[in-house]
Amino acid sequence: MTRANTGGRHVEALSVVVPVLNEAGNIEPLVGEIRAALEGRLPFEIVYVDDGSRDETPAILARLARAVPMLTVVRHRLACGQSAAIASGVRAARYPWIATLDGDGQNDPADIPKLIAALEDDATPATLRMAVGWRTRRNDDWLRRLSSRVANAVRAAALGDATPDTGCGLKLFPRTLFLELPQFDHMHRFLPALVRRQGALSVSVPVAHRARTRGSSKYGVYNRLWVGIVDLAGVAWLKRRMCIPIIEGPCAETPSAADPGSKEK
């Protein structure tokens, strides 16, 4: 497995990847907010991935794609999950940097420039390659807030990813780095740990978290809990099995390496 690229962090062009499943009412407002947050700042595109929606989502995306030049739509015939949708969007993206956000409207696109600024900060380590949203004030019911707090604490203790809110959908990272990561269902919840496994670091940035005003959540406490336990064990295993070699310098050239056909006389 290749080591993460730890080169420059200037975000010159950005692909915003938005996975959705039955979010018809949220699409048009969110597209407008993304444009308002980024137009005039840098070249960008919006990549919506419809993960097999059965409501009006496909029709709305098709109409918007004709009207919004920077919008690209990818559609899964059948629902494959949020991680698969994000991966499809990253593969379809044209620009070297990726920002992701949830399609339910709870992430505020106006926070994307905050993530860019945090990543481009010269005072941060050279190995910093990802900025992660940190929902310091959650607009969810008490049970979901409690379960998220417990899950984040357990995950951080097990994986040491130094991320207080890995479940936030708002993230920023290089496209090439994401494509180096192991792909599996629910992997989007473990991106900071997987990035750390590649020898890179992430930074958490406080962002807004808004109440859902349209549609309904696709996740509950229980359908996240049990798969989360299995996934946590799997990511911990992956982390233990990874070893990134530290290259101290070029190997000294020997006569046999310089000329395999030469022999001592």
* pLDDT above 90: residue 8: no
The two structure tokens encoding residue 110: 């106006």
Q: Is residue 3 part of a domain?
A: no
**Contact status, residue 192 vs residue 128, Cβ threshold 8 Å:** no
Q: What is the pLDDT of residues 191-211, one digit of tens each?
A: 998 998 888 999 999 999 888
* pLDDT above 90: residue 11: yes
Q: Is residue 8 part of a domain?
A: no
Q: Residues 189, 191, 194, 195: what is their CA dihedral angle, to the nearest 10 degrees?
A: -170
Per the document, the length of the chain is 265
**Contact status, residue 90 vs residue 178, Cβ threshold 8 Å:** yes
Sequence-separated (6 or more) residues with CB below 8 Å from residue 44: 13, 14, 15, 16, 38, 70, 95
Percentage above 90 pLDDT, the chain: 57
Residue 120's CATH number = 3.90.550.10
Q: Is residue 260 part of a domain?
A: no
Band the pLDDT of 235: cuts 50, 70, 90: low
* pLDDT above 60: residue 187: yes
The two structure tokens encoding residue 20: 């959705």
Q: What is the pLDDT of residue 254?
A: 45
Neighbours of 48 (CB within 10 A): 27
Q: Is residue 168 part of a domain?
A: yes
Band the pLDDT of 243: cuts 50, 70, 90: low
Q: Is residue 264 part of a domain?
A: no
Instruction: Identify which of 115-119, 162-166, 194-198 has the greatest average pLDDT.
Output: 115-119
Enclosing domain of residue 147: 14-244
The two structure tokens encoding residue 173: 């990272």
* pLDDT above 80: residue 246: no
Sequence-separated (6 or more) residues with CB below 8 Å from residue 215: 22, 23, 24, 25, 26, 104
* pLDDT above 90: residue 225: no
Neighbours of 187 (CB within 10 A): 23
**CA-CA distance, 183 to 48, in Å (whole number)?**
19
Q: Is residue 9 part of a domain?
A: no
Q: What is the pLDDT of residues 91-100, one digit of tens each?
A: 999 999 999 9
**CA-CA distance, 57 to 48, in Å (whole number)?**
10
Give the mean pLDDT of 14-24. Answer: 97
List, edge to edge, every strand of the sheet that includes 201-207. 71-76, 44-51, 14-20, 97-100, 171-174, 128-135, 201-207
- What's the number of domains the chain is made of? 1
Q: Is residue 114 part of a domain?
A: yes
**CA-CA distance, 172 to 117, in Å (whole number)?**
11
User: Can you point out the beta strands (E) in the chain?
Assistant: 14-20, 44-51, 71-76, 97-100, 128-135, 171-174, 201-207
**Contact status, residue 159 vs residue 190, Cβ threshold 8 Å:** yes
Look over the chain and give the mean of its residue pLDDT values, rounded to a whole number: 82
User: Which one-letter amino acid corresponds to residue 89?
Assistant: G
pTM of the full structure: 0.77
Give the mean pLDDT of 82-109. Answer: 97
Nearest to 131 by CA among 148, 141, 142, 119: 119
Q: Is residue 197 part of a domain?
A: yes
Band the pLDDT of 158: cuts 50, 70, 90: low
